[in-house]
Homo-oligomer: A and B are copies of this chain.
Amino acid sequence: MALSTQDTLLITAGNTMQSARHAVLGNEIRNKVLLSLRPEAQDFLRERLASRPIAVGDVIFADGAPVTHAVFPNEGVISYMAEMEDGRSVEKVSIGLEGFVGVALVMGGGNAMGRTVVQVAGYASWLSIDDLNAAHERFVCVREAMLRYSKSLIVQLMESVACNSLHTAEQRVTRWLLQTHDRMQGDEFILTQEAVSQVLGLRRATVSGICSGLLDAGVISYHRGHVTIRDRAALEGHACECYRRVLDASLLR
């Protein structure tokens, strides 16, 4: 997954080599929800989907904001963040190519159920609420697919509640890395320890210690925000059962 320098010729707002690559490769639909649809529905949607890069820190929807689009990631990670009164924040749930942002739409609500922020850069397909409704009405498979994802979202949430109560920081960090890996095309992605600590509600120092351990064990390697998964099986060994449970309930299985 090494990036050639010529990619930088196409730098976008996203600004990193990572997103530059997506400007090149970023037209392919990889989102599993979209790909699970019947050909007619896919054809219908392909004409209406707009693909564009998502960059770290991009806010897809503010908390409670009107949901104007459904956003289907093809690569990258988007998180629903909880913001507490004391200023602290944590991830409620994360979304990648196995799902989409905008379940509220399916649930008959027009307002975002949390602040959605891009945590790992990639690219996503956007569909306007009108086009979504049209597809929703027209194709049974669209209705089914959205319900199916809603269900797996609930599974992920339930698992996370339990995981956050019972499992160690290391288990949760590795679980998050595994999920991220599943959502990226290669073994390498851009992610700082700072970001991981924000997402999981840990100190950066805690994340740092955990990562050092994984580095020493040869499980991952990293350097100033560039992470590489070296030994996926070993990484799973450090994670909790929650990883596999969530995976099994998802479209990535």
Using a CB–CB cutoff of 8 Å, the interface residues on chain A facing chain B are 80, 82, 84-85, 88, 90-93, 103-104, 107-109, 113-114, 144, 147-148, 150-151, 153-155, 157-162, 164-166, 200-201, 241
Question: Nearest chain-B residue to A202 (Cβ)?
Answer: B165
Instruction: Beyond A80-B158, A92-B158, list 9 extra A-B contacts (CB 8 Å).
Output: A90-B161, A91-B161, A108-B147, A108-B151, A150-B150, A154-B157, A157-B161, A161-B164, A162-B201
* Complex A-B: 27 CB contacts under 8 Å: A82-B159, A82-B161, A84-B162, A84-B241, A88-B166, A90-B161, A90-B162, A91-B161, A92-B158, A92-B159, A92-B161, A93-B161, A103-B154, A104-B151, A107-B147, A107-B148, A107-B151, A108-B151, A113-B151, A113-B154, A113-B155, A113-B158, A150-B150, A154-B154, A162-B201, A164-B165, A165-B201
Q: How far apart are the CA atoms of A59 and B121 in the complex, in Å? A: 44
Cβ distance A73 to chain B, nearest Cβ, rounded Å = 19
Question: Nearest chain-B residue to A107 (Cβ)?
Answer: B151
Question: Nearest chain-B residue to A92 (Cβ)?
Answer: B158
Supposing A113-B154, A153-B154, A154-B157 touch, asked if A162 and B82 sit within 8 A by C-beta, the answer is yes
- Residues of chain B with a CB closer than 8 A to A200's CB: 165
A84 touching B154, Cβ below 8 Å = no
Q: How far apart are the CA atoms of A153 and B154 in the complex, in Å? A: 9
Supposing A90-B166, A165-B201 touch, asked if A154 and B241 sit within 8 A by C-beta, the answer is no
Cβ distance A186 to chain B, nearest Cβ, rounded Å = 29
Cβ distance A166 to chain B, nearest Cβ, rounded Å = 6
- Residues of chain B with a CB closer than 8 A to A93's CB: 158, 161
Q: How far apart are the CA atoms of A146 and B112 in the complex, in Å? A: 19
- Residues of chain B with a CB closer than 8 A to A150's CB: 107, 150
- Residues of chain B with a CB closer than 8 A to A153's CB: 154
B144 touching A108, Cβ below 8 Å = yes
A107 touching B160, Cβ below 8 Å = no
B151 touching A109, Cβ below 8 Å = yes
B158 touching A114, Cβ below 8 Å = yes
A241 touching B148, Cβ below 8 Å = no
